[in-house]
Structure 1
Amino acid sequence: MASKRTQGDCIKSNKKKKKENNCEETAELCCVVQDENVKRAVKEAWSQKSNYTHGDLELDCHPFPHCVIKNFIKTENFLENLQRELLALNFHEKSNDLYKFQQSVGLRNRTEAHIAGVRSALFSQFRPWLEEVLNVKLEPHVDISCFKYEYTDVLLCHDDELEGRHVAFILYLVPPWLSSDGGSLDLYETDAHFQPQSVVKSMVPSWNTLVLFEVSPVSYHQVSEVLSQDKCRLSLSGWFHKPTPERPPPYVEPLVSRSEHLPRDETILLEWINPLYLDISYQEQIQENFEESSEIQLKDFLLEEKFNQVCEAVQLAQIQWTKKGPDNKRRYEAACLDTLPECVSACWELLHSEAFFLLLSNFTGLRLHYLCPADDDDEENKDEEATGSSNGTRKESEPSIPKCCGELRRWSHGSYTLMHDGVAAQAEYALDLLLPFCCAGWNSEFGGYSCYIAKEEDEELLTINPEDNSLALVYRDKETLKFVKHINHKSNNDSINRRFYDFSFVYYE
């Protein structure tokens, strides 16, 4: 029987540990967990990767083994008191490329009666059950927090792999919940490279339901965006730990192909670009500002007539769009270049042209064209070559050839990019260019903005919001990463399915 004593009824003691034990309310687990026959059956099914169902327990091995236990804690009164204690905690909003939600302080040392009780139930009562079912020895380490997901909160596709994590669990304490409320736990199937392909199962959260799964290279999942504006998706989540086994090496995506400039002279600049930005003295001013901050935004960059033509053309049905993935790295649409209308293709050529490479050199001081003046380092290398005083450190005599890669992207509800390991490993010096279209009425609350952060840091170095006909240039080094924030439901909450487009180019010296 669960104790009915409240914290105020506890017998006082000079020993802190004894006092906590006296205050702890007991959480009795459901009968299906206590049934030895069920435990043996689950153990056998899990080892053979086969499905098994008994009463409130279901083991499903597709797309990876996961177990759902409904009515996990017997006593309803305990759950209601637990929910009240959890909602009284301090929560902190957490937001980055991967997620947006509220997280409580850690619950490892909390002494509230029902929080202590559920922690004990999970890590003292339930852990031995898991150890037998999985035939492993789990560490006593307690890793548990409370999470609140409210309107537009989300946790995007990831696999949970982190040193020591072996089994992930979620205990839901939600009001009556519908699939239309969002917030489902979505499971992905993977391809031969262990990359997520598509969601094959969605589980709607329900009161007093425990979900658990083994963390592995294929355990890709997400919490879909919460769409309800008046419900709170409250849950207890954490991990059971054991030494991490050896994992297969991460899949490395092929590098995006780069190309040299197209042979187009300055005539193309005169046809497309605001004359202000073709003035040499103004270019010098731009370069001075750029060199101070490594970024700049040039408003009204294209001639108004040209910009309006592209805005209309990018929305034509003739353009074929391809989804870019996988979801643990990105989700947006890219245009097939051979389907672009004439004026959009011409704008593409502009950004790819030799004349534009030279213009970017004038804007930034980077060596993106052979006519760009050499900087001091290059002059020093030339002097060393002439005098033979380089002490064996002379750079290659052949200069690198400036190149670029780019795409036309379409952004809408659910689009994003993530800072995945592959991006960090391949980071290099580069100049990013963004030129947005059809952004009228776009609000930063919708997401869709580009963020730059330093490796291993959470603080944003720079945020670029989509703005019509505003050319953004950002020079980043090997320690700088970028992402596009998830576009949330607010982008179409007034029955307008908002979209915007951008040319995204990267230039390399």
Structure 2
Amino acid sequence: MSSPQKDIEEPTSSNDVKGAEENAGKEEVTAAPEPRPPAKRPLSSTVIEISDTESDDSDVCAVTSYQASADEVKRIRGADYSSSSSSSSSGSYSSDSESPWEDDSLLVAEPRVRGKLPRACLNPRASRTDDPLLNPALKSQELIDRLKTHWKEQKDMSTSEVSLTCDPFRLVLLHDLLSNADIINNMVDDMNTLDWTRKKMDLYEFHQTVDLASLTWQRSIKGIYELLKTEIMSWVSEVMGLELVSVSASCSLYGPGDHLLVHDDMMSDRRVAFVLYLAPWRCTYTTVHTVHNGDGDHSTSDQAEGGGGGGGWSAAMGGALRLRARDGAGRAGGAARAVLPRNNMLALFKVGPDSFHQVEEVVSLEIPRLSINGWFHGPAPPTDPAPPPPPPYEPPPLLKPHNQVVVLSEWVDSAYMSPVSRAAVQAQMERDSEVSLRAFLLPERRRQLLEALQSPEVEWEHVGPANERRYCRVKLDGLEAGAAPPAGPAPWAGAGAVRALLQLAGAAAWLRLLQDCTDLQLRHYQRLELQRWQRGDFTLLPPRSHYQEARLEAVLYLGVPERTLCGGCTTYVAPEEEGEPEAEGGALVTVPPVDNALTLVYCDAGAASFTKYLSKMTMRPDECFYILTCTYKE
């Protein structure tokens, strides 16, 4: 049996001679056996450096190889552990073979490493002293002249460096803006040190920083701001033929459910809008969602650009920049083109009355949508036509309540029919100017209504334009509140039940019930709608002329899922006040979507309402609920 000492010894020439002499006496023609190399590997003193950056402040982890003895292994793994390849302290060796060289250890040839091992860079960074550099290929005068000609003639153009599309409006994409793209990882690092503000209103919901001009020590982000207001602004000015004098920019972060609805960016002296996409990671999403926020009318001809080769983002994650065409009246129409975020890509378009666009809802739960976006500012070009004035406001007609027979006890829960309960509701209205009446309709009447609203007899129509609202409502042809009911008893199925509900909302008996609950002398009503809401639906704040009179608004939710929803709430704000009305503490009243709950809100002149974008994160494609809304005036 071999000893522990011999296991690690190298065979010597004397051992070879001794073996040859012993075998010579038994069989002279047999040659001495070749000595077997040792099974134990030599110790190594390799140093491994672990870092994801090339900078000098990388972490270094020094690892020295160490071979534990059998006793140490038993102490760590337990007393029952045994190994036939390990030496024991007593010098015994266990093996199935009688050969003195037998060992079940695996002999691996390990080449000696000379010099320093290379470091694995998962997300390579540029040096902290580097500045963002514009891609030299974009500075080619030949490329600039060619792009300038295509821009002026409104012709599409595509090269490896830049692309120009003209439908629905002119859009320029610079595919590799920075020559040192590794500095984008530095920008993402610097974003972690910025102060982010949650921006939430009827039109948008995302995180944003202050203007980049106020930054001091974030070198990479400060560097891209300096590049925007110098080389890039001059490049854009030459290509588009515009006089640009300044730039405003900030960082934006879109998390799950964040979005930016349809708008045209026309404000003050904005001339060119830009978005620099930062997506230096690998994309893992493979499932593509087919529903887009405010985008249910897009056609199969939609074209998607970006993404793909740039890595970091896919269509399944949402967040695409979607461009919209205009309808015959010059309003925002159907979606025509989608641009997916692509790392190191800059999107540019001229701001004008046709530049309707939006950012789709982000559904990625792993990584956010990051960008640096803003506008180049300058005087209005003398050749541009003045924007058309908004169409004159035509208020909806005021309707008088009808005197057809309506039995309230067949609709309203008995808890709200007694004088005592109405007095309690009136007291809360006087105190808070709003009240929510839960379980308002009788359970059987509610069930009949929900079944009727799913009937094919009920016709729905889409409501727009896309830059103001998106939902469906019941067509009122023959279903108006004052229309004569069909002969015989009112049917409680299909269009008959819908007609009965609309007649209830416009009945004189119903207005007397509201008077008892609010102490208001209500005489007229308007804007009576029965709406169907699905994910992606929304309404924005109306123009100022729509909310210049005091009024009572009634909102009845029906068929709302029991789980918590993201969006779908009706929010009342005072848009004339400074700041963002829906910021913390800014909303006057927020009405959550609760099934079979009637909410009454008294609005002074200057108070307006909108219904928040209904997120696809909490609503299935086949789900919907309903809202009955009506405005009453004294």
Q: Shift of residue 79 of structure 1?
A: 2.0
Residue 448 of structure 2 is aligned to residue 309 of structure 1? yes
Query: SS state of the match for residue 357, structure 1?
Result: helix
Q: Distance in 1 between matches of 2:226 and 2:267?
A: 24
Q: Distance in 2 between matches of 1:165 and 1:477?
A: 34
Q: Shift of residue 258 of structure 1?
A: 3.8
Partner of 1:359: 513
Question: Match for 1:116 among 222, 245, 256?
Answer: 222
% identical aligned pairs: 31
Q: Distance in 2 between matches of 1:76 and 1:352?
A: 64
Contact 1:51 1:60 in 2 (8 A): yes
Q: Distance in 2 between matches of 1:365 and 1:7?
A: 75
Listed as ranges, the matches of 1:16-415 within 5 Å are 25-110=130-215, 111-140=217-246, 142-174=247-279, 175=281, 176-244=312-380, 246-252=386-392, 254-265=394-405, 267-338=406-477, 341-369=495-523, 402-415=524-537
Q: 1:6 to 1:242 in 2, by over 3 A?
A: farther
Contact 1:436 1:503 in 2 (8 A): yes
Higher-Rg member (1/2) = 2
Query: SS state of the match for residue 430, structure 2?
Result: helix
Q: Distance in 2 between matches of 1:5 and 1:112?
A: 19
Listed as ranges, the matches of 1:486-497 within 5 Å are 486-492=613-619, 497=622
Q: Shift of residue 168 of structure 1?
A: 0.6
Q: Shift of residue 470 of structure 1?
A: 1.4
Q: 1:159 to 1:24 in 2, by over 3 A?
A: farther
Question: Match for 1:449 among 559, 569, 572?
Answer: 569
Query: SS state of the match for residue 276, structure 1?
Result: helix
Q: Distance in 2 between matches of 1:324 and 1:173?
A: 36
Please tell me the root mean square deviation across aligned C-alpha atoms, in Å: 2.4
Contact 1:32 1:57 in 2 (8 A): no
Q: Shift of residue 45 of structure 1?
A: 2.0
When structure 1 is superposed on structure 2, of 234-243 and 251-260 the one drifting more is: 251-260
Query: SS state of the match for residue 292, structure 1?
Result: helix
Q: Distance in 1 between matches of 2:157 and 2:248?
A: 28
Q: 1:426 to 1:295 in 2, by over 3 A?
A: closer
Q: Distance in 1 between matches of 2:457 and 2:193?
A: 54
Please identify which structure carries the higher helix content: 1
Q: Shift of residue 7 of structure 1?
A: 12
Deviation readout 1:377-426 (Å, 9 max, x if unpaired): xxxxxxxxxxxxxxxxxxxxxxxxx2333111111110111114x25555
Deviation readout 1:165-190 (Å, 9 max, x if unpaired): 11110000113211111100000001
Deviation readout 1:107-155 (Å, 9 max, x if unpaired): 1132322112211211111111111122222113x31111111211111
Amino acid at match of 2:468: K
Residue 551 of structure 2 is aligned to residue 430 of structure 1? yes
TM-score computed with the length of structure 2 as normaliser: 0.68
Q: Distance in 2 between matches of 1:358 and 1:438?
A: 26
Residue 629 of structure 2 is aligned to residue 504 of structure 1? yes
Q: Shift of residue 296 of structure 1?
A: 1.0
Long gaps (5+) in structure 2: 1-52, 58-127, 282-311, 480-493
Q: Shift of residue 51 of structure 1?
A: 2.0
Q: Shift of residue 64 of structure 1?
A: 1.1
Partner of 1:464: 591
Q: Shift of residue 341 of structure 1?
A: 2.5
Amino acid at match of 1:467: V
Deviation readout 1:167-218 (Å, 9 max, x if unpaired): 1100001132111111000000012433101110011111100001111111
Q: 1:131 to 1:482 in 2, by over 3 A?
A: same
